Every structure is written in structure tokens, then in C-alpha cells.
Structure 1
């Protein structure tokens, strides 16, 4: 599993210009379960995603299609981890052993 942090590299008015396309991109990835959670950082300096287990190269390819990245207003940082304990109902997020 991966935690992806998004950091805005441009002023918010420039980021907001691409927000509708970015939101569509997120909704599509969540619908196909390529991302399982997406949200804004507080304060609003970027965002955070949770991505399920997949080859790192596949995640990199998906993230490269983010409209924020394509238009140079944000960058991603990826942290891979192995979930071992989860709340009831989220068992499908644990490592496949």
C-alpha cells in the first residue's frame, strides 16, 4: 500500500484552475480502486491519497497523469508501507500473506 502526499508548487489560484480536471481524475481512479482515499491537507498546501498494493511503476504511471502534475502546479511524494492492522471492514487493505 502507498501513502501519496501532494504538494502544491504554484499559488492556489493557479492550482484552482486545474481543480475540476484533477477532481475528475481522482473520481475515476477511486471508481476503479486505483486509489482508495483522497483528501486535502490541512492547511491547504496539497493533498493525501492512499493507493492499494500494486507495482510501484504502475502507481508512478498513474500519478504522472494527474492534471496538477501535467500542468506543473504540484508534485507527489510516495511512501510504501505494509498495513498489518486495520479497522473492521477494511480487511481487504491488509497485506496479502
Structure 2
């Protein structure tokens, strides 16, 4: 499992110009079964996506995020190996 941590690198008004295409991109990640959970950071400095897959595929995928292609944000990918989860989330363990 990976944590995809998105950080905005431009002012929010420039980020907001790409919200629609970004959300379409996120929806495609869910439809493909890659994304498990997502949301924005608070304060609004970026977002986080929980995803599964291999690092090269996820790196290629995040490179196509409209926020990234527009130069509005960058990602940090962190791989985690879950050893324990709350009840109902056992499927997240690798």
C-alpha cells in the first residue's frame, strides 16, 4: 500500500483552475481499483490518496494528474506495510 501525498506548489487560485480535471483523474483511479481512500489536507496545502499497486506504476500514474502536468503540485510516495488494522479494514494489509 502507498500513501500518495500531494503538496500544492502554487497559490490556491492556480490550483483551483485544475480542480475539475483533477477530480476526474481521481475518479478514474477509483474506477480502476487503484485508489482506496482520498481527501484534502487541512489546512488546504494538498491532499492524500491511499493506493495499492507497485511503485513504478503509481509514479507513472501520479505524473498524469492534471495538478502535476499543470505544475501546480507535486507528489511524495510512501510505501507502507500494514501489520494491524481496525476491524473491517483487514483487506488493506499486504
For normalisation by structure 2, the TM-score amounts to 0.95
**2:70 matched to which residue of 1?**
71
- Distance in 2 between residues matched to 1:70 and 1:29, nearest whole Å: 16
Map of 1:57 onto structure 2:
56
Rounded to whole Å, the distance in 1 between the matches of 2:83 and 2:62 is: 25
Which aligned runs of 4 or more in structure 1 are off by greater than 3 angstroms? Answer: none
Counterpart position of 1:17: 17
Alignment gaps of 5+ in structure 2: none
Aligned residue number for residue 2 of structure 2: 2
* Structure 1 position 55, deviation (Å): 1.6
Aligned residue pairs: how many? 94
Q: Partners of 2:78 and 2:89 in 1: how far apart?
A: 20
Which residue in 2 is equivalent to 1:36? 36
Mean CA deviation greater in 86-95 or 15-24: 86-95
